Amino acid sequence: MEFTTIDSRKCKRNREGGACQQDEGIAESWKKFQQKWEIDLEGTARASKALQRKREIRSAEDLLRLIVWYAMNDWSLRLTALWAALTNIGYLSDVAVLKRLRNSVEWLGKLIGMLLQRRLSDLQSLPGVRMRVVDATTISIPGSRGTGWRMHLSFDLGNFCLDGVEISDKYGGESLARFEARDNEIWIADAGYAFASGMAPVLDKGAKLIVRINWRNVPVIAPDGQRLKVIDWLRTVTDLSERSVWMKMPSGWFAFRLIAAPLPPEKAESARRRVRLAYQRKKKPLNPDTLFAAGFVLLLTNLPVEDGSARKVLALYRMRWQIEVYIKRLKSVLNFDLLRAKDARLAQTYLLAKILIALITDQFIAYQVNQFPDWFACLDRPISPQRLTMLFRETLCQIMNRFNLSSLQTSFHRLRRYLCDPPRRRLQHSTWVRALALHSSFHDFCP
Domain-located, residue 295? yes
Q: Which structural domain, as residue segments, surrounds residue 223?
A: 194-307
Q: Do 201 and 278 lie in a common domain?
A: yes
Return the percentage of the chain with pLDDT > 70, whole number: 89
Domain-located, residue 321? no
Q: What is the pTM of this model?
A: 0.84
- Residue 189: strand pairing partners: 211
Domain-located, residue 385? yes
Domain-located, residue 84? yes
Q: CA Rg, the chain, in Å?
A: 27
Residue 393 near residue 401, CB atoms below 8 Å: no
Where would I find the beta strands (DSSP E) of 278-375? 296-301
Taking the CA atoms of residue 338, residue 344, residue 345 and residue 351 in that order, the dihedral angle to the nearest 10 degrees is 30
Q: Do 267 and 366 lie in a common domain?
A: no
Q: What region does 18 belong to: left with phi over 0, alpha with psi -120 to 50, or beta?
A: left
- Is 253's pLDDT higher than 60? yes
Shortest CA distance to 341 belongs to which of 147, 170, 168, 142? 142
Mean pLDDT, to the nearest integer, of 344-365? 92
Q: What is the pLDDT of residues 191-202, one digit of tens each?
A: 999 999 999 999
Domain-located, residue 170? no
- Which pLDDT score, from 0 to 100, does residue 137 have? 95
Q: Do 302 and 347 lie in a common domain?
A: no
Q: Do 25 and 103 lie in a common domain?
A: yes
- Considering the chain, what is the average pLDDT of its residues? 86
- Which pLDDT score, from 0 to 100, does residue 408 have? 77
Handedness of CA 386, 392, 393, 395 (dihedral sign): positive
DSSP conformation letters of 158-190: TTTEEEEEEEEETT----GGGS---TTEEEEE-
Q: What is the pLDDT of residues 394-427, one digit of tens each?
A: 888 887 777 767 777 777 878 888 888 777 777 7
Residue 181 near residue 205, CB atoms below 8 Å: yes
The residue out of 262, 291, 307 marking a domain boundary is 307
Q: Where are the alpha helices (DSSP H) in 140-286?
A: 196-204, 230-234, 265-282
The residue out of 287, 307, 327 marking a domain boundary is 307
> What b/e string do you get for 343-355 counting C-beta neighbours within 10 Å, with b at 16 or more?
eeebbbbbbbbbb
- Which pLDDT score, from 0 to 100, does residue 7 have? 42
Q: Do 286 and 367 lie in a common domain?
A: no
Q: What is the pLDDT of residues 82-106, one digit of tens each?
A: 999 888 888 999 999 999 999 999 9
- Which pLDDT score, from 0 to 100, does residue 285 have? 92
Angle of the 94-102 helix axis to the 77-86 helix axis, nearest 10? 100
Domain-located, residue 417? no
Q: Do 209 and 297 lie in a common domain?
A: yes
Under the banding of pLDDT at 50, 70 and 90, the label for residue 35 is low
- Which pLDDT score, from 0 to 100, does residue 32 have? 64
Instruction: Tell me how many domains the chain contains.
Output: 2
Q: Do 201 and 300 lie in a common domain?
A: yes
- Is 447's pLDDT higher than 60? no
- Which pLDDT score, from 0 to 100, does residue 142 have? 85
Q: What is the pLDDT of residues 129-156, one digit of tens each?
A: 999 999 999 999 888 878 899 999 999 9
Q: Do 277 and 356 lie in a common domain?
A: no
Shortest CA distance to 339 belongs to which of 144, 152, 195, 174? 144
Q: Which of 198-202, 251-255, 430-434 has the lowest mean pLDDT?
A: 430-434
194/152 Cα distance (integer angstroms): 15
- Which pLDDT score, from 0 to 100, does residue 441 have? 53
Phi/psi of residue 409, each to 5°? -65, -40
- Which pLDDT score, from 0 to 100, does residue 79 have? 92
The residue out of 307, 333, 360 marking a domain boundary is 307
Question: Which of helix, strand or coil describes residue 137?
Answer: strand
The CB density around residue 56, as the number of other CB atoms within 10 Å, is 16
Q: Do 211 and 259 lie in a common domain?
A: yes
Domain-located, residue 85? yes
- Which pLDDT score, from 0 to 100, does residue 40 have? 86
- Residue 227: strand pairing partners: 221
Q: Which of 110-114, 117-121, 359-363, 436-440 has the lowest mean pLDDT?
A: 436-440
Domain-located, residue 171? no
Taking the CA atoms of residue 83, residue 85, residue 86 and residue 89 in that order, the dihedral angle to the nearest 10 degrees is 90
Q: Do 299 and 199 lie in a common domain?
A: yes
Q: What is the pLDDT of residues 257-307, one digit of tens each?
A: 999 999 999 999 999 999 999 999 989 999 999 999 999 999 999 999 998
Phi/psi of residue 290, each to 5°? -65, -40
Q: Do 198 and 303 lie in a common domain?
A: yes
Q: Do 296 and 201 lie in a common domain?
A: yes
Separation of first and last alpha carbons in the chain: 70
Residue 72 near residue 396, CB atoms below 8 Å: yes
Phi/psi of residue 303, each to 5°? -70, 125
